[in-house]
Amino acid sequence: MPDMITEQLPVIQDVMDLDYEFVEDVNEDTTQKSYKLKGVFQKAGIKNGNGRVYPFNVLEKEVNRLQPLIQENRVLGELDHPADAKVHLDKVSHLITHLEMKPDGIVYGESKVLDTPAGKVLKELLKANVRLGISSRGYGTVRKNNGVDEVSEDYKMVTFDIVSDPSTPGAFPEAVYEHKENNEEVETAPLSLVVEDVLDDMLSEVQVKWDKEYIGTSEGIRFYLKEGALDSYGTLKNHISHYYHLELKSPERTVEVALTEQNLKRTRDEFGVNIFYKIMEKVGYKGFNPETLIKANTEFASK
């Protein structure tokens, strides 16, 4: 039943202009480190960057509803914005461990950074002092109230995600260490470089070769670019179909599709232009001309 409701009500995502604290704890017995994020996760009664207002009673109801799930370690957050209200385990980076509604309308929260692939990336981003945002995610409807978009009482809070594209100018909270030696300033690093370095280190450490890359989601279907020719396209040895194909994955089944012009046109017609353009961008990054699907030096090609 919850999945049906999720599909019927629109997803509501909002990034607040918030500050949080990044705390590093060391277990004296095992010397293992754990990382936590603490701070203001949401605010009631204030118009956010997307022009929406969350009434106090709406947030209070949802904070109370999530308490049993928090106690059971079931409220997971992701790194970056998902396209729907469902939690995707391959992108989980942190666990919400505490949510509290304050009398002034502030939702104070705490979360633990997990030792998942996405959690490792998040940890390194925070340690590098990369500026990130915190985004609330849920589903429900919005109504007009005195000219303001007000989130309705049917709103269901799902979780809070860590994002890099806040809806509010300046809404990039700084990561603050509880224990800094000599009050040193931590150098900032571009997000793309940090992510690239972390993923390279992770792959070297576990010696795993990724054979597919996530592209995006449309109509409930997750799209991947997968290595290996599913169906060679004629005799053109430099055509992308000799190197990659598409994998379409739903909860019920997985389908593999050859990367041909005809199949790409069907994909665009059936799943929309947004996912089509994401596929074309991925094709370009792999060094193929998105218009001809032939190997070429294009403006998208990797350096």
pLDDT tens per residue across span 247-295: 998 877 889 999 888 899 999 988 888 899 889 988 888 888 888 888 8
Q: How confident is the model at residue 296 (pLDDT cuts 50, 70, 90)?
A: low
For residues 157 and 139, give the distance between their C-alpha atoms in angstroms, rounded to a whole number. Answer: 7
Tell me if the pTM is above 0.85: no
Residues forming beta bridges with residue 285, ordered by sequence position? none
Q: Which residue has the tokens 């070297």?
A: 204
Average pLDDT value for residue range 65-79: 94
Q: How confident is the prediction for the chain on average, in pLDDT?
A: 76
For residues 160 and 70, give the distance between their C-alpha atoms in angstroms, rounded to a whole number. Answer: 12
Residues 6+ apart with CB under 8 A from 141: 9, 10, 152, 154, 155
For residues 290 and 293, give the distance between their C-alpha atoms in angstroms, rounded to a whole number. Answer: 5
Q: According to the model, what pLDDT value does residue 221 have?
A: 86
Residues listed for the chain: 303
Q: What angle do CA 285, 286, 291 make, to 5 degrees?
A: 75
Residue 245 has pLDDT above 80, yes or no: yes
For residues 42 and 50, give the distance between their C-alpha atoms in angstroms, rounded to a whole number. Answer: 14
Percentage of the residues of the chain whose pLDDT score is greater than 70: 72
For residues 18 and 4, give the distance between their C-alpha atoms in angstroms, rounded to a whole number. Answer: 32
For residues 200 and 109, give the distance between their C-alpha atoms in angstroms, rounded to a whole number. Answer: 32
Beta carbons of 293 and 240 less than 8 angstroms apart: yes
211 against 26, higher pLDDT: 211
Residue 231: Cβ within 10 Å count: 13
Give the chain's count of helices (H) and strands (E).
6, 15
